[in-house]
Amino acid sequence: MDKPKPTPGPWAVKNLKSKNTIFIVSENSYVAQTPDFGTEKSSQELADAERIVSCVNAMDGIEDPALLRECFDEMLREIRVAYNSVPYGYETIASGEKIYDAEDTREFEETRNKLGTLISKAESLRRKS
């Protein structure tokens, strides 16, 4: 038997205070809800529901989120390698018979800055341990 596919997105959070219940809904159906124990739901429960919905919507259409994460990690490693391989500074940089001029070093610095910014942005996406 085939594994069922998740309910397609986008999902949304509906906080029904009159029922003391938080629903997670799609366009066509209810996906999940918190139990109604007769008490108002906490802001933490609502934040958790919103986080679930945010993650599901961000991954909508991605067949294998774990593979996407693995690819992201590999790309970040490769960007770091590229960053570390670009010469930096305005010192004279010699490679074989070529000595890079000031224009070359400006381009190197721009490339390092772009890669450095990309690394910082990517690292900020990672959950801190």
> In whole angstroms, what is the distance from residue 85 CA to residue 75 CA?
15
What pLDDT, in 10s, does the model give residues 5-33?
Answer: 888 889 999 887 666 778 889 988 889 88
What stretches of the chain show up as alpha helix (H) in DSSP? 43-59, 65-85, 102-125
Between residues 41 and 9, the one the model is more confident about: 9
pTM over 0.85? The answer is: no
Strands 21-25 and 12-16: antiparallel
